[in-house]
Amino acid sequence: MRVIPAKSYRPVEVGAPAESYTALKERILGIMVVLSGVVTLTLVLVYGGDVGLSYGVGACSGVVYWRMLARSVDRLGTAAKGWQFGSPRLAVFIAVMIVALRWDKLAVLPVFFGFVTYKAAILLYAIYDLIRSSRTGSP
């Protein structure tokens, strides 16, 4: 491999980006689990067990979806494993919605909101990171 020096070149450790990406995944997963637990407990106390159970089932499937999404991102840039019909991640969402529709104890809307908790966790982390970087002045 040939290295071309540049004036703005700063040496970076080889493992640094991968380690920071792994730390980012773990932080977002932690935020997601805590947020899911707090919201589920709040819903159980305010609206009752059925709504809390519905949200909890959706949140658990959202965690599974997040883990599958992270694994697929980890595999980017590696050798492709051939043509694949559909996405297994989509099957998680479809399966949890079918279960919510078929099981009388589950309500569809709380299951859906529980499922998209991973998006709220990403937004919370982005806001936290934005505030932190504006206070320290570093990107």
CB 63 within 8 A of CB 118: yes
Number of domains in the chain: 1
Q: Give the pLDDT score at 54.
A: 95
CB 103 within 8 A of CB 110: no
**Rounded distance, CA 89 to CA 27, Å?**
21
Q: Give the pLDDT score at 22.
A: 87
Instruction: Give the residue among 86, 81, 36, 94 at the shortest CA–CA distance from 63.
Output: 36
Q: Give the pLDDT score at 52.
A: 94
Range of the domain at 56: 24-73+87-136
Residue 68 domain-assigned (yes or no) = yes
Determine if the pTM surpasses 0.75: yes
Residue by residue, pLDDT tens for the chain (139 residues) are 555 554 444 444 555 676 788 888 999 999 999 999 999 999 999 999 999 999 999 999 999 999 998 888 887 766 556 556 667 888 899 999 999 999 988 999 999 999 999 999 999 999 998 998 888 765 5
Q: How many other CB atoms sit within 10 Å of the CB of residue 45? A: 10
Q: How many other CB atoms sit within 10 Å of the CB of residue 62? A: 26
Q: Which three-class secondary structure state does DSSP give residue 85? A: coil
**Rounded distance, CA 129 to CA 81, Å?**
35
Q: Give the pLDDT score at 46.
A: 95
